[in-house]
Structure 1
Amino acid sequence: MNEAPRPVRIAVGLWLALAVFVLFTTAGLWFQRGEIEKLSGKPPGEVTVFLISLTVPAVIFAALYGWLTRIFLRRRNWARIALSLLSIVHMLWLLIVGISPASLVTLLLICAAIVFTWQSATAQWLAEVREK
């Protein structure tokens, strides 16, 4: 990765930070389970189902971000496209689930990662492999 230009290194850092943030945010919900039960007035079983319904997609998103970022570092242009498409699906999922401070941070990370992923220096870095 040392040979990668700065925008690529920043994009990789942002994609990985996004994956970690999603996992920590989801884990934080499990630690606040009692508070969620109290605020929602739902029985523990329903809160567990709710938390699982948030956890499964979050783990899938985080795993895909990590895997695609690794492929992106191998200079595969399709990974850049896949990361962007995945992030659009993730943004739509966040809008369905509901807006919270954590989802706003997630949206900010996604937007910043997309900007650096699609900069011209990144495109040139990916094109170098095709020229060889």
Structure 2
Amino acid sequence: MTDQDTPRPVRIAVGLWLATAVFVVFTTAGLWFQRGEVQRLTNWSSGQVTSFLATLSGVALVFVAAYVLLTRLFLKRRNWARITLSFVAIAHMVWILFVGISASNLVTLLLICAAIVFTWQARTAQWIAEVREP
């Protein structure tokens, strides 16, 4: 399959899913560099901040791995991967709302919403239906 065989909405969706994964990695890493600020804002001990950041990093890693793996399978025209990507994205959005809204979280939410829109466009569904899974 060449890049020319893949419709533009699919390429955009793939780019948005991967951009979401990369953005999550960078924002999570950025929190580690701002751990002093996190400690100041929360009045938590150093251990509590470390535990919090480790939990956020673990959850972020799960979402990033899911986005990368499922996007790869989506590119192989697996419809179940498209469905699973959407469910993972919804779970990620709920997680973001649970953790709290920040500027970086709003960007993540926008990336996810845009990715879902392109993932479920009619041309994308047609492209997936052209090759049925074995």
For Structure 1 versus Structure 2, the TM-score category normalised by the shorter chain is: over 0.9
Cα distance between partner residues in 2 of 1:104 and 1:53: 20
Paired with 1:5 and 1:43, the residues of 2 have a C-alpha distance of 51
Over aligned residue pairs, what C-alpha RMSD do you find?
Answer: 1.4
TM-score (normalised: structure 1): 0.96
2:93 to 88, 91, 94: 91
Q: For residues 32-80 of structure 1, give each alpha carbon's deviation from its aligned partner in whole angstroms, at most 9, with x where no partner exists.
A: 0111112222111111001011110001000100000000000000000
1:80 is aligned, of 76, 79, 82, to 82
Q: What's 2:32 paired with?
A: 30
Indicate the residue corresponding to 1:64 in structure 2: 66
Question: Taking structure 1 as reference, are residues 98 and 64 closer, same or farther at Cα in structure 2, changes over 3 Å only?
Answer: same
| Paired residue total | 132
Task: Return the match for 1:45 from 31, 44, 47.
Answer: 47
The match for 1:111 is 113
Using a 3 Å threshold, how does the CA distance of structure 1 residues 131 and 44 change in structure 2: closer, same or farther? Answer: closer
Q: Residue 12 of structure 1 aligns with which residue?
A: 14
1:131 to partner: Cα distance:
9.2
Partner Cα separation in structure 2 for residue 57 and residue 69 of structure 1: 18
Question: TM-score by structure 2 length?
Answer: 0.95
Q: One-letter code of the match for 1:103?
A: N
Alignment partners' CA distance in 1, 2:67 and 2:15 = 11
Distance 1:89 1:121 in 2: 25
Consecutive unaligned residues of structure 1, counting only runs of 5 or more, are none
